[in-house]
């Protein structure tokens, strides 16, 4: 079994006072990690599934006392897919405020639904964490580094969802199933999107532009919808953990681009399923985009699992000098370029060096990336 980096942090958060909320897409292992957490803490735990009508009936705001009675002597309660439960924030608040010495562990596949329902009721009563697909660091520890590097081309194409990683011979079928069931069923249900055809158009357009600067004007023209609608749909896709936006670093407004954003997918396999292209990397002309998406999301996992509190950006000025990725923490900047080919020559723009005086500039390629993703540097 692949050990998940987040488990140790979650164990240290058990206090029988605040709820632990675990976000993440479906099929990334939230239920598994919640059960593993429970087993490390106690033999007395109970699991509810929010998808079940019986659970929905029991977890009712007018029925909290009966719900608490159903816990029996169990000290750790898991509610899986909690976004399906109405008034989940208020229900959890009531349970926590009764000071029953019970640990609530809540998982959710939609930040929009869970965050909105728990934000105010659970202020000061929760710890929030994000679980991603398998990370490079987790896989290197499980497989060993040489094996991981040998299988890297597969992960660039089919992604890092747990079942994809552990069942490589069926990887394409699995990631297609995840994409079809999750994107076109769950997201529509969870977000209330009323135009599924528009959602599909936007997703495919973003798939072709991955790693590039996205213009809402151009995108709205391409899909035939107004800018506000397109922007709202992208926001919903972010809340459902399909894509995320990377903003620009701009402290010199006259010379730098400050309005554009890049959009990346949380998983390469989802992106490739959307465009219907699972060719091996030696037959593709989009290896640069695949590499940048893969590396940035893997870095995102590493930082998130280690409590990074800084900011991340890309940078470009009006002369089109650019840097792929920047981390800012404690007033220092760390700048990185991503190149699949180790022989590719890169020069960091002098304008950026002069303005930001970065603590580090480094090119991340297929020969050295594993070191960059193996340890938390801050």
Query: How far is residue 157's CA from residue 174's CA, in Å, rounded to a whole number?
Result: 13
Q: How confident is the model at residue 92 (pLDDT cuts 50, 70, 90)?
A: very high
State pLDDT tens for residues 116-148. Answer: 555 667 888 899 999 999 999 999 999 999 999
User: What was the pLDDT predicted at 184?
Assistant: 65
Residue 120 buriedness (CB in 10 A; 0-12 / 13-18 / 19+): exposed
Mean pLDDT of the residues in the chain:
91
User: What was the pLDDT predicted at 211?
Assistant: 86
* Helix 287-305 and helix 136-143, axial crossing angle in degrees, nearest 10: 90
Strand boundaries in 237-320, DSSP class E:
243-246, 261-265, 311-316
User: What was the pLDDT predicted at 260?
Assistant: 78
Query: How far is residue 40's CA from residue 43's CA, in Å, rounded to a whole number?
Result: 8
User: What was the pLDDT predicted at 20?
Assistant: 95
Q: How confident is the model at residue 185 (pLDDT cuts 50, 70, 90)?
A: low
User: What was the pLDDT predicted at 75?
Assistant: 92
State pLDDT tens for residues 330-357. Answer: 999 999 999 999 999 999 999 999 999 9
| Domain topology for 6-130 | Rossmann fold (3.40.50)
State pLDDT tens for residues 207-250. Answer: 999 988 888 999 999 999 999 989 988 988 888 889 999 999 98
Indicate the pTM of the whole model: 0.92
Query: How far is residue 222's CA from residue 208's CA, in Å, rounded to a whole number?
Result: 12
Token pair belonging to 287: 């290896």
User: What was the pLDDT predicted at 31?
Assistant: 93
- 3-state class (DSSP) for residue 119: coil
Average pLDDT over residues 82-90: 87
- pLDDT of 98 over the 90 cut: yes
User: What was the pLDDT predicted at 285?
Assistant: 94
User: What was the pLDDT predicted at 36?
Assistant: 94
Q: How confident is the model at residue 192 (pLDDT cuts 50, 70, 90)?
A: low
More confident residue, 374 or 255: 374
User: What was the pLDDT predicted at 273?
Assistant: 96
| Sequence-distant (≥ 6) Cβ neighbours of residue 49 within 8 angstroms | 55, 80, 81
- pLDDT of 291 over the 80 cut: yes
- 3-state class (DSSP) for residue 203: helix
Antiparallel, parallel or unpaired: β 103-108 and 126-130:
unpaired
Token pair belonging to 343: 């022989």
State pLDDT tens for residues 44-70. Answer: 999 999 989 999 999 999 999 999 999
SS (H, E, C) 274-285: HHCCCCCHHHCC
Give domain limits for the chain.
6-130, 136-372
Q: Considering all CA atoms of the chain, what is the largest pairwise distance in Å, rounded to the nearest integer?
A: 66
- pLDDT of 115 over the 70 cut: no
Average pLDDT over residues 22-38: 92
User: What was the pLDDT predicted at 109?
Assistant: 78
> What percent of the chain has pLDDT above 90?
74
User: What was the pLDDT predicted at 111?
Assistant: 59
| Sequence-distant (≥ 6) Cβ neighbours of residue 185 within 8 angstroms | none
């Amino acid at each position: 079994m692949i050990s998940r980096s987040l488990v140790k942090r979650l164990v240290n958060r058990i206090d029988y006072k605040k709820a632990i909320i675990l976000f993440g897409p479906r099929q990334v292992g939230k239920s598994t990690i919640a059960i593993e957490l429970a087993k490390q803490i106690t033999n007395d735990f109970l699991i509810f599934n929010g998808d079940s009508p019986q659970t929905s009936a029991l977890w009712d705001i007018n029925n909290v006392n009966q719900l608490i009675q159903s816990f029996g002597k169990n000290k750790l309660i898991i509610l899986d897919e909690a976004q399906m439960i109405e008034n989940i924030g208020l229900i959890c608040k009531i349970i926590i405020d009764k000071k029953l010495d019970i640990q609530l562990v809540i998982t959710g596949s939609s930040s929009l639904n869970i965050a909105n329902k728990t934000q105010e009721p659970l202020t000061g009563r929760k710890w929030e964490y994000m679980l991603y697909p398998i990370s490079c660091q987790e896989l290197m520890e499980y497989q060993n580094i040489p094996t991981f590097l040998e299988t890297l081309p597969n992960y660039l194409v089919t992604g890092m969802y747990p079942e994809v990683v552990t069942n490589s011979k069926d990887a394409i079928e699995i990631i297609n199933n995840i994409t079809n069931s999750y994107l076109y069923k769950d997201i529509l249900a969870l977000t209330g999107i009323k135009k599924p055809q528009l959602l599909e158009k936007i997703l495919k357009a973003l798939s072709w532009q991955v790693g590039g600067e996205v213009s809402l004007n151009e995108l709205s023209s391409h899909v035939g919808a107004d800018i506000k609608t397109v922007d709202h749909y992208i926001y919903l896709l972010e809340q459902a953990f399909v894509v995320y936006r990377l903003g620009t670093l701009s402290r010199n407004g006259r010379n730098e681009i400050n309005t554009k954003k890049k959009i990346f997918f949380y998983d390469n396999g989802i992106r490739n399923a959307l465009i219907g292209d699972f060719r091996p990397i030696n037959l593709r002309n989009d290896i640069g985009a695949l590499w940048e998406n893969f590396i940035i999301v893997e870095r995102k996992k590493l930082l998130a699992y280690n409590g990074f509190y800084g900011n991340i950006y890309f940078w470009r000025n009006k002369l089109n000098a650019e840097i792929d990725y920047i981390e800012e923490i404690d007033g220092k900047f760390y700048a990185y370029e991503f190149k699949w080919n180790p022989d590719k020559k890169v020069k960091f723009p002098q304008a950026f060096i002069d303005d930001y005086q970065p603590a580090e500039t480094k090119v991340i390629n297929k020969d050295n990336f594993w070191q960059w993703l193996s340890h938390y540097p801050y």
